[in-house]
Amino acid sequence: MLSSQVNATVDGGLNQDTLRREARRETWKAFALLSPGMAVVCLAILVPIGWLFALSLFDEQGRPSFENYARLVEQRSYIQTFITTFQIAFTVTGVCIVLGYPLAYMLSQLPRRIAQIGLICVLLPFWTSVLVRTYAWLVLLQRRGLVNTWLTDLGIVSQPIAFINNFNGVVIGMTHILLPFLVLPLYASMRSIDKDCLRASLNLGASPIAAFWQVFLPLSIPGLVSGVVMVFVLSLGFYITPALMGGGRVVMWAMRIEQTASLYTNWGAASALGVVLLVTTLIILGLFQWRLGSRAAAAWNAR
């Protein structure tokens, strides 16, 4: 017994001990470096959301129940909110694809130097406050705003069109804000498509249109999907633009949460709405990760 211990020490056990101690110290160091950041995230993200989750499981008398969740599927006004939210999210995503795909395609085909200038036009709004951009649209689209003035002066319409305080206004504003989220990953993934593939297909007799549909488009799908998921998920939880441009008539999910919490001070119901929104978001992101996780991640990293 004793001799084996001695042997171990002689055979480098001492060294092993030192190494182990060193490794433990490294672990502690890593832990110590992580903990302040983790503490902040716990305090401002995990604890509040955990608390909301707990609140959602109690009714207004403080008894545990699923009443808050049952109400979401029973009450008409909540169902209407969900319908509006998904309608807007799908419309915004669709418009973003229609506008973003050709833009990203054009930028990816231009020489890098010229594409840089175009990218600045995409990045500048991306870096500008959402509030500023929403304000710009409010100014442009209001009843006596620039767009309506021009339209009436040109004789296109006789009456000013109502752009704000309705569905259209929310869609225009949100599309403008979310478009860069689609264009940037898509552009990056299109840039990484080898032009030789296209050249090869053209050499083999494909028409430029066929080359686009059969070679370029499939290769750009991962980038497109990651942009689409980003835009869709962000529009589901969007608050600022619908709150300002919907004029209280277009009530989206996030606004509903805010109203339920601050107007009706029904924290249980607001929390339930929030939990369902979070779970929906996570499911969409999870599906996306599962189906084309690595390829899309590559598209994001290529940024």
We find the least distance from the C-beta atom of residue 250 to another protein, in angstroms, to be 14
Member of 89, 103, 171, 190 binding another protein (CB under 8 A): 103
We find the least distance from the C-beta atom of residue 221 to another protein, in angstroms, to be 19
137 and 173 in contact (C-beta within 8 Å)? yes
Member of 171, 174, 244, 269 binding another protein (CB under 8 A): 244
Handedness of CA 11, 13, 19, 22 (dihedral sign): negative
Handedness of CA 75, 80, 85, 86 (dihedral sign): positive
Q: Considering only 76-84, 155-163, 229-237, 290-298, which stretch makes contact with another protein by CB under 8 A?
A: 229-237
Q: What end-to-end distance do the CA atoms of the chain give, in Å? A: 61
The tokens describing 153, both together, are 């002066």
Q: Does 146 bind another protein (CB under 8 A)?
A: yes
230 Cβ neighbours under 8 A, 6+ residues apart = 178, 181, 182, 185
Member of 239, 266, 293, 302 binding another protein (CB under 8 A): 239
189 and 299 in contact (C-beta within 8 Å)? yes
Q: Provide the 10 A C-beta neighbour count for residue 252.
A: 27
Q: Which of residues 126-145 bind another protein (CB under 8 A)?
A: 127-140, 142, 144
Handedness of CA 63, 64, 68, 70 (dihedral sign): negative
116 Cβ neighbours under 8 A, 6+ residues apart = none
Q: Which of residues 148-187 bind another protein (CB under 8 A)?
A: 176, 179-180
Q: Considering only 6-14, 28-36, 64-72, 83-91, which stretch makes contact with another protein by CB under 8 A?
A: 28-36
Nearer to another protein, 7 or 303 (CB): 303
Member of 97, 162, 202, 221 binding another protein (CB under 8 A): 202
Q: Does 243 bind another protein (CB under 8 A)?
A: yes
Member of 57, 162, 240, 302 binding another protein (CB under 8 A): 240
The contact mask relative to another protein for 282-301 (x = CB under 8 A, - = no) is x--x----------------
Q: Does 200 bind another protein (CB under 8 A)?
A: no
Q: Which of residues 30-89 bind another protein (CB under 8 A)?
A: 30-31, 33-34, 36-38, 40-41, 43-49, 51-52, 55
Percent helix, strand, coil in the chain, to 5, is 80, 0, 20
The residue written with tokens 């549909």 in the block is: 213
Nearer to another protein, 3 or 196 (CB): 196
